[in-house]
Structure 1
Amino acid sequence: MATPEFITTLRASAGQQLLWLPGVSAVVFNEQGEVLLGRRADTGNWAVLAGMPEPGEQPAEAAVREVLEETGVHCVVERVVSVDAQPAIVYPNGDRCQFMDITLRCRAVGGEARVNDDESLEVGWFPPTALPELSTRSLDRIARAQGEEPTWFAAP
């Protein structure tokens, strides 16, 4: 998985200490109500599409960019689904980070789903009733994106 240049620069001075970072997740639906998923190259697991905004980039802009870069699918953002702090992650090289994730519901408007970069092993459309094995986090994001409830966040 490609590390953004701004993170590489930060790591040069911060070392492996915990970095608090922004993240976006995109739950993308097509006209048939199927959800777009990617099988991650770093873990081999299926997941909703996600990434980091570049400095100064708006979350919706980052989600649209990440979906296109990873899958070749063009999408538009419809609404904010959830905002929550994710558990800290320790990467195999020892780098530690924690993401504040903004999950966005998106609608596909063009393109063909395909592996479009080195971050995914496979991509595909799945009916919500026939999803591959997913983490609880991905399942929660999809369930919330299907509904019309207000934006979810953890209560204080």
Structure 2
Amino acid sequence: MDYIKWIRNKVGKDMIILNFSGAIIENEAQEILLQRRRDRNAWGFPGGAMELGESAVETAVREIKEETGLIVSIGELVGVYTKYFDEYPNGDKAQTIAFMYHGKVIGGHLAACNEESLELKFFHPEFMPELFNQQHKDAFDDFKNNNIGVTR
């Protein structure tokens, strides 16, 4: 089931609350994986919307596999980011709640181009490109400052 399509068929483009889950994924060199998103042509952490019946961890694992080809283990919760608002390129509006975790690659193969990703690349934490929204910026700041279990 595609929850976002289902709910949008009922409410149109009106403001709704959407839950997302993703991870800040490090490789062995402590570089961080970013996804250049197809919908915005901008960089962010891999992850996506929760489906009905999923936990936040299940969502992160599923979305990361779909968007990157990688299988990840989910570690500690970096934070839950709740007071953020977004308007999507198609005009949909939402208050977005994101569960952001620390993740490690345990399998799979990086699939650079797919339905949601224009590019996937690991970056040194000091040389990260601009992230596409404030939620991702705040999560990265918390991660690099070892602020774990944050709620905003």
Same fold (TM over 0.5): yes
Give the match for residue 89 of structure 1. Answer: 86
Give the match for residue 147 of structure 2. Answer: 149
Q: Distance in 2 between matches of 1:86 and 1:117?
A: 30
TM-score (ref. length: structure 1): 0.86
Question: Percent of aligned positions with the same letter in both sequences?
Answer: 31
Residues 139/7 of structure 1: CA separation in 2 closer, same or farther (3 Å cut): closer
**Counterpart contact for 1:17–1:95, Cα < 8 Å:** yes
- Unaligned regions of 5+ residues in structure 2, if any? none
1:119 maps to 2:116: yes
Q: State the Cα deviation string for residues 79-113 of structure 1 (Å, max 9, x = none).
A: 11111214222233332112111111111112222
**Counterpart contact for 2:40–2:89, Cα < 8 Å:** no
Q: Secondary structure at the match of 1:22?
A: strand
The residue type equivalent to 2:118 in the other structure is L
Q: Distance in 1 between matches of 2:89 and 2:35?
A: 21
**Counterpart contact for 2:22–2:59, Cα < 8 Å:** no
What is the deviation of 1:115? 2.3
Give the match for residue 64 of structure 1. Answer: 61
> How many residues align structurally?
151
Give the match for residue 29 of structure 2. Answer: 32
Residues 59/126 of structure 1: CA separation in 2 closer, same or farther (3 Å cut): same
Q: State the Cα deviation string for residues 55-83 of structure 1 (Å, max 9, x = none).
A: 01011111011111101111100111111
Which one is further off, 23-32 or 86-95? 86-95
Q: State the Cα deviation string for residues 28-74 of structure 1 (Å, max 9, x = none).
A: 11121111100011111111112011101011111011111101111
1:16 maps to 2:50: no
Q: Distance in 2 between matches of 1:68 and 1:101?
A: 18
1:53 maps to 2:50: yes
The residue type equivalent to 1:57 in the other structure is E
**Counterpart contact for 2:78–2:102, Cα < 8 Å:** yes
The residue type equivalent to 1:50 in the other structure is G
Q: Secondary structure at the match of 1:87?
A: strand
TM-score (ref. length: structure 2): 0.88
Displaced runs of 4+ in structure 1, greater than 4 A? Answer: none
